[in-house]
Structure 1
């Protein structure tokens, strides 16, 4: 498992090392240029000094004796020669070779003598026949630059190590809100799932906290629905099972064929109701687990292809012109067929599916001419296991809940109201039609 802290630390160290290395290269180049300039100036000054002595007539066989032990190495390598214009060596320092350091041209030049590279400054002594050559070894110059860079390298490495420790310490401190949030999550009561508090010192974590709190809210809501669903389902299943058991006892204890037949008929009705309830429970559980319908899953589908052939009823009136709906066919078929099934159970002579338009857009309408629902019961329609007062239907109270859940997955909504036909009118809003 990759550590975010370690990854950030290594990236910081890598970036710092690159910048540090670039700085060292630049310092080395800049130091070399400065050292070359300083040493060239030294050669010119030395040559000028010797030239002035010659101009005063002070020429000696050897200008400089051997340097005593312990003298600065560069001073030992500075060499001087005095030549006549005719090519005769008049004098030289102890460190200078016997071979001419440079050609006859004045100014700076470089030459290799006995495997050693020299940088030489040559000047002709005015009003004389002498030429002064002062030079030093390029190897010594390179050694001087290397020495300077090496003297800078140790502090640079030490500074890099110190920066690494500071980086690690700062990262530990900067990531402390993450650790606190992890501890707060671990300490949450799984039964209540209270929301997290957003850390005041880490605004970057606020979106994560908001997302986690939103997830906790959804989990709590899902758990609450699951608990209510389980309790209600257990109650709804227990009721027909108790009826089946009672009717079975009646059928087993009576010798009257008529009573036994009625008991068996009631058992059959209870079994049918239980089968319908179990089927609706499975459908509702599957719908709860399904995701929201995304645009990629929607396609234009004809209304006639969505209706279950088993629900074709002579009382059903469809639109005169075929209509297309932009929906996910399988899931929206749940909406229409459950609503249509509900209308068929309660209708008297007329069931109607129509398409209307208002200021909010298209509206799909399903209505019937049945007894309708009392105004006090309308707000509760669509709740799980809810059946209006006085209902004699064998329904489980889940059909409208399934339709509502599938419609909401499409971003649509169901509205319940009295119908002008006399029964219930259901409006589906939020579905694109043409």
Structure 2
């Protein structure tokens, strides 16, 4: 459903509800006013008849009840009727059209609603001491309802003309009011997909559209930044892939035309190194893509077992590098609610970086400690730590310091940082007396 139609239905529904509420209020107030006025007329008529009886201006006779004439309106026949009852003689007088049967008990006074001959009547009764009886004056409730109905019909008939006109004006007002939004949508639709600049004239937009325009500006800025990072990533990746591939081609050419065995063996060793470097880079690029696209799924993770698995996967690399891997847990099988894939990717890249940075014969120790609020994973290696020139850029893609391992791609810390950020964990580095420490703080909640 469009916003225009939704607003139209809401406003027309509200208008109709207000109109119907007004009808009900007028109906109730009119009925109350009609009842008050006509009840007052019944009281006046009863007192008038009683006064006439007291002054003997009405002849009373049981055998021939006097015909009493009350106020009469041609528009409402039999507006009022009257009965005069003697306590000893019975009906001694009545008006034309008045029922012949007694309407109220002999001792009754005041107002009552009664039904006679299928007609609902409103009557008022007083006791006349001079008569020794009672005077009852009444009128038809149907006549009262007709009066109220005529008032309501007089209010409703104009609504058949007014409401459609009002609804048409509401539709016109909504269309004109939403015109800036339509123009805003048209401007967006006309923009080419590669145009990620901020929307022009945001400050001149209507106040209600400014938050939307501002949010779109923020979104476009984030998209532009993401696209810039994507282009930068592709450029760096292409450059980094080009180097080992060019080396492979060169060394393969040397191996094919090597004049002796030593030259051929040296070229084949260089080919193996280039293949390892390319394999690691491809794996890290896939890991980075997986970190960016994965939806986090928190499950209980037993840290000691996960670390043991990661260390086992890196045992071959550690052996080739001449370092040893050790696991030391100060806790008994600590567990944490986390995404096992993201956590394992972060640990693998951090420990792999430590292996690449450690000198021959060094020992890399992974230790798990913790408290009720957080668990700490401490990866201690024998490397020199982060070079000062890249300390502020640690975690950025393809950032490598001088003297870094030639097989490195500058992606390991970036993968670890992004994965831990998705997990709500923090990563920090410390250089202590016993060597370099990489510290992971994992929340337990």
| Same fold flag (TM > 0.5) | yes
- Distance in 2 (CA, whole Å) between partners of 1:335 and 1:126 is 108
Q: Can you give the 5+ residue segments of structure 1 that lack an aligned partner in the other structure?
A: none
- Distance in 2 (CA, whole Å) between partners of 1:418 and 1:407 is 21
Distance 1:298 1:352, change over 3 A: same
* 1:335 aligned partner: 346
Query: Secondary structure of the residue that 1:279 maps to in structure 2?
Result: helix
Moved more, 223-232 or 210-219: 210-219
- Distance in 2 (CA, whole Å) between partners of 1:373 and 1:87 is 121
Matches within 5 A, 1:261-280: 261-280=265-284
TM-score by length of 2: 0.73
CA contact (8 A) 2:327 2:366 kept: yes
1:405 to 409, 418, 427: 418
Q: Number of aligned pairs?
A: 419
Question: C-alpha deviations, 1:15-66, integer Å up to 9, x for none?
Answer: 5545554553444344333323322322332343344444444447655499
Distance 1:34 1:341, change over 3 A: closer
* 2:287 aligned partner: 283
Distance 1:11 1:221, change over 3 A: same
Moved more, 43-52 or 5-14: 5-14
**2:245 aligned with 1:241:** yes
Matches within 5 A, 1:33-432: 33-59=32-58, 62-64=67-69, 72-74=74-76, 76-80=78-82, 86-87=89-90, 93=95, 95-97=96-98, 99-100=100-101, 102=103, 107=109, 108=111, 114-121=117-124, 127=130, 133-154=136-157, 164=167, 168=171, 179=182, 182-183=185-186, 185-186=188-189, 190-195=193-198, 197=202, 202=207, 206=211, 212-252=216-256, 259-291=263-295, 296-297=298-299, 299-302=301-304, 304-312=307-315, 313=318, 315-316=323-324, 318=326, 320-323=328-331, 324=334, 326=336, 327-346=338-357, 347-353=359-365, 362=376, 364-369=378-383, 374-391=387-404, 393-415=406-428, 420=433, 425-432=436-443
TM-score by length of 1: 0.74
CA contact (8 A) 1:382 1:404 kept: yes
CA contact (8 A) 2:376 2:440 kept: yes
* Distance apart, 1:13 and its partner CA: 4.4
Distance 1:98 1:272, change over 3 A: closer
Query: Secondary structure of the residue that 2:421 maps to in structure 1?
Result: helix
Moved more, 221-230 or 53-62: 53-62
Moved more, 329-338 or 227-236: 329-338
Query: Secondary structure of the residue that 2:438 maps to in structure 1?
Result: strand
* 2:62 aligned partner: none
CA contact (8 A) 1:273 1:394 kept: yes
- Distance in 1 (CA, whole Å) between partners of 2:392 and 2:129 is 118
- Distance in 1 (CA, whole Å) between partners of 2:425 and 2:413 is 14
- Distance in 1 (CA, whole Å) between partners of 2:438 and 2:243 is 32
Moved more, 219-228 or 159-168: 159-168
CA contact (8 A) 1:99 1:113 kept: no
Distance 1:417 1:138, change over 3 A: closer
* Distance apart, 1:140 and its partner CA: 2.0
Distance 1:79 1:224, change over 3 A: same
Query: Secondary structure of the residue that 1:376 maps to in structure 2?
Result: helix
- Distance in 1 (CA, whole Å) between partners of 2:387 and 2:133 is 130
Query: Secondary structure of the residue that 1:73 maps to in structure 2?
Result: coil
Distance 1:431 1:59, change over 3 A: closer
CA contact (8 A) 1:122 1:131 kept: yes
